[in-house]
Amino acid sequence: MEKPVLGYAMCGSFCTFDRAIQQMQVLKDIGYEIVPIMSETAANTDTRFGRANDFMWKAEDITGRAPICSITGAEPLGPKHMIDMLVVSPCTGNTLAKLANGITDTPVTAS
């Protein structure tokens, strides 16, 4: 059986990034292929919790793929059946509200 492909999307709850990256590693270790996705906020904001680029590199190191961090990058995921399921972790209130209202203006909500 082919390995399931998991989209792993990170939003801008920066204090939880270390744990989110740890969970990404756990999911990789138990056999998932992972497509990393980051909201523009997550991909572009340096905070006291770390530099955006460092988290991008960590996600790429774990998954072997550069994170998708644009709507144009995320758009094919559905139509081309590139992922089997999607985890949003961390999910901000901002992204949750958008998902609840069908707003698709970030790479995460467009995934």
| Chain residues that interact with ligand FMN, rule: CB under 6 A | 11-15, 39, 41-42, 47, 92-95, 106
Q: Which is nearer to ligand FMN, 16 or 33 (CB)?
A: 16
Q: Which is nearer to ligand FMN, 44 or 84 (CB)?
A: 44
Dist. CA 34–CA 27, nearest whole Å: 8
Q: Which is nearer to ligand FMN, 31 or 102 (CB)?
A: 102
Contact between residue 62 and residue 32 where contact means Cβ atoms under 8 Å apart: no
State the nearest-atom distance from the C-beta of 109 to ligand FMN, in Å.
8
What are the angstrom distances between the C-alpha of 79 and each of 50, 72, 83, 90? 34, 12, 10, 24
